[in-house]
Amino acid sequence: MTAKKTISGARIFDGIDWHDGAALVIEAGHVKAIAPAGSVPAGGETIDARGLLLVPGFIDLQVNGGGGALLNEKPSLESIRQICAAHAQFGTTALLPTLITDTRAVRTAAIAAGIEAKAAAVPGFLGLHLEGPHLSVARKGAHDPALIRPMGDDDLAEILACAKALSRLMLTVAPENATKEQVRALADAGVVVSLGHTDVDYDTACAYAKAGARTVTHLFNAMSGLGHREPGVVGAALSTGTLHAGMIADGFHVHPASMGIALRGKKGPGQIFLVTDAMSPIGTDQTSFFLNGREILRQGGRLTLADGTLAGADIDMLSSVRFVHQKLGLPIEEAVRMASGYPADAMGIASHKGRLLPGTDADFVLLTPELAMKSTWIGGETVFAA
């Protein structure tokens, strides 16, 4: 690793403000400064990025697979490497490989693989997201109902041990199958508890937020909707300032009009952030794959079971950024925040990721002004170049 690097000539967005006529100075994998181009001390390697945009690297908190690998089908270190490398092609510099509802044995294997990935310092690996199995059958989506079950004491113990070993863990649960006491214990241990695949009412969702739930999984999808007399989980997500919420911006999971309404209606400081919910086909030409023994079809930008049920998403993070910028009309800086700063806030890692401030990790993406990919950098090193 070169001790010092300078990225010059790009228009730099640090996650808060734009910097023109400046250079990004990197030392030992961290941001040293964003300095006027003419005042950078000599020395180290200089990279010419004239005409490009330099933005914080994207953070994806819900990634089932990529590059042909699916964590549920092969819960291994190799799969995690494959998934992280596939998403780096689209600007993702940190992600949570996500295990959806499966058997106890598969979950145990996925946790072991995550611990291996942390020890191996796999570029882009942030931690794990366990989406289930403690969900609601009524809002199962593509999750196998035969594998959904309540959280027991042994489940709680395994998840707490995983949180201690990994440091970064997200867990999606439904109040139907997890108690407030369990949520409180998980939150106290540093687990980011997310409410999802649940049919509970507004008051119950708010009570679980008070117990320690921090986020909501894929807003609008697989949850009780916003009604005029019963606001549901969607209403709780939007009106509770402590809750952050992930959203899939592919135009299939949520109508663009609903996305805009949610963005305008979200009470802070919690924000809506982008997730891909990507499956194994990302970065490949796969037309189908299997999940829990069921074939998932890839057609027209959608992934579905044979009955038409959506089963994850066929979108990458850069395409998600483009979608909310071009289809919703969000300023590019806000679209980037939804993919970087806001998920960092949701995970509690904003001190070192999601923004390019002195001391933070030098994770960033170089794009053309038309938002085409040029290169992805993690810790000041190139991990993908178009």
CATH number at residue 370: 2.30.40.10
Tokens of 35: 């300095």
**Chain centroid offset of residue 17 CA:** 23
Tell me the C-alpha distance between 237 and 271, whole Å.
10
Residues 279 and 378 in one domain: no
- Least Cα distance to 205 among 234, 164, 182 occurs for 234
Integer Cα distance of 187 and 201 in angstroms: 21
Cα 96 from chain centre = 6
The SS3 of residue 153 is helix
Based on the structure, what is the number of domains in the chain? Answer: 2
CA angle 100, 342, 232 (to 5 degrees): 60
Q: Please indicate, yes or no, whether residues 309 and 234 belong to a single structural domain of this protein.
A: yes
The token duo for 261 is 């309404």
Q: CA 232 from chain center: how many Å? A: 24
Model pTM score: 0.97
The Cα–Cα gap between 44 and 27 comes to 9
**What local confidence, expressed as pLDDT, does residue 217 receive?**
98
Q: Which of 105, 234, 215 is nearest to 158 (CA)?
A: 105
Q: How far is CA 218 from CA 62, 104, 275, 318, 383, in A?
A: 9, 24, 7, 18, 28
Q: How far is CA 367 from the centre of its chain?
A: 20
**Can you give the residue range of the structural domain that contains 49?**
4-55+356-385
Looking at the structure, do residues 106 and 14 belong to the same domain, yes or no? no
pLDDT given at position 70: 96
Q: Looking at the structure, do residues 363 and 297 belong to the same domain, yes or no?
A: no
Phi, psi of 247 (to 5 degrees): -145, 135
Say which of 250, 277, 361, 363 is annotated catalytic.
277
Please tell me the predicted confidence (pLDDT) of residue 2. Answer: 54
d(CA 85, CA 283): 10
* 150 and 207 assigned to the same domain: yes
Is 14 tagged catalytic? Answer: no
Residues 191 and 302 in one domain: yes
Q: Are residues 124 and 47 in the same domain?
A: no
How, if at all, do strands 169-173 and 192-195 pair? parallel
Q: Which stretches in the chain have pLDDT values below 70?
A: 1-2
User: Does 261 lie in the same domain as 162?
Assistant: yes
C-alpha distances (whole Å) from 152 to each of 38, 57, 102, 158, 176 are 61, 37, 15, 10, 13
Q: What one-letter code names the amino acid at 283?
A: G
49: which residues sit within 8 A by CB, 6+ positions away? 7, 8, 9, 10, 366, 374
Over the chain, what is the mean pLDDT? 96
**383, 361 contact by CB (below 8 A):** no
The long-range contacts involving 288-293, CB below 8 angstroms and separated by at least 24 positions, are: 289/70, 289/73, 290/73, 291/70, 291/72, 291/73, 291/100, 291/142, 292/72, 292/101, 292/102, 292/144, 292/147
293 and 306 fall within a common domain: yes
Q: What pLDDT, on the 0 to 100 scale, is given for residue 158?
A: 97
Exposure pattern of 318-333 as b/e (b: 16+ CB <10 Å)?
A: bbbbbbbbeeeebebb
341 & 361 share domain: no
What's the rounded Cα separation, in Å, for the pair 272 and 277? Answer: 15
Total length of the chain: 386
Distance of CA 271 to the CA centre of its chain: 13
Q: Are residues 299 and 361 in the same domain?
A: no
Q: Are 28 and 176 members of one domain?
A: no
Q: What is the pLDDT of residue 232?
A: 98
Question: Domain of 124: which CATH number?
Answer: 3.20.20.140
Rg of the chain over CA atoms, in angstroms? 20
